[in-house]
């Protein structure tokens, strides 16, 4: 009987965890819709959790600090972001602001440079053909 109770407890905990993720995703979607985000914005997820939000024009980047603080997550997220120009119609991605700060003032600048971004007079750039 104890094994069944533990299994039931784990199942309930799993369901609550999944429901929390759905609620968090719904809140993000509502906030995004309220701001009136233009078509073409990107939200980078890892395991269903948001890591990076790239504005429609590609110049503003918003990080989700709780997830980005985990070991290795920032490097993988910026590596995926570096590949973004290969997916988008435009061949170049230039990030000018991160979390409202100029790129050169951001704590993530070095991580982005290690991921393959190059310094540009406008910010940090990634190109599809590089």
Cα 52 from Cα 105, distance rounded (Å): 18
Radius of gyration over every alpha carbon of the chain, rounded to an integer in angstroms: 18
Question: Quick one: tokens of 103?
Answer: 């790129």
The yes-or-no verdict on residue 46 having pLDDT over 50 is: yes
C-alpha neighbours within 13 Å on the C-beta side of residue 20: 7
Res. 103 pLDDT band, cuts 50 70 90:
very high
Q: Are 22 and 48 within one domain?
A: no
- Whether 98 and 80 map to the same domain: the answer is yes
Looking at residue 130, its pLDDT comes to: 56
Task: Specify the number of domains making up the chain.
Answer: 2
| Residue ranges making up the domain that contains 106 | 39-127
Residues 59 and 76 in one domain: yes
Name the pTM for this structure. 0.65
């Amino acid at each position: 009987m104890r094994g069944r109770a533990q299994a039931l407890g784990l199942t309930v905990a799993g369901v609550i965890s999944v429901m929390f993720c759905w609620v968090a995703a719904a809140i993000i979607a509502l906030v995004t819709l309220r701001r009136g985000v233009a078509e073409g914005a990107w939200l980078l997820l890892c395991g269903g959790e948001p890591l990076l939000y790239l504005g429609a024009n590609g110049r503003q980047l918003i990080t989700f600090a709780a997830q980005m603080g985990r070991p290795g997550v920032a490097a993988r997220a910026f590596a995926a972001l570096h590949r973004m120009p290969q997916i988008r119609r435009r061949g170049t991605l230039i990030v000018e602001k991160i979390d409202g700060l100029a790129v050169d003032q951001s704590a993530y600048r070095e991580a982005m440079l290690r991921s393959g971004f190059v310094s540009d007079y406008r910010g940090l750039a990634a190109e599809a053909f590089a």
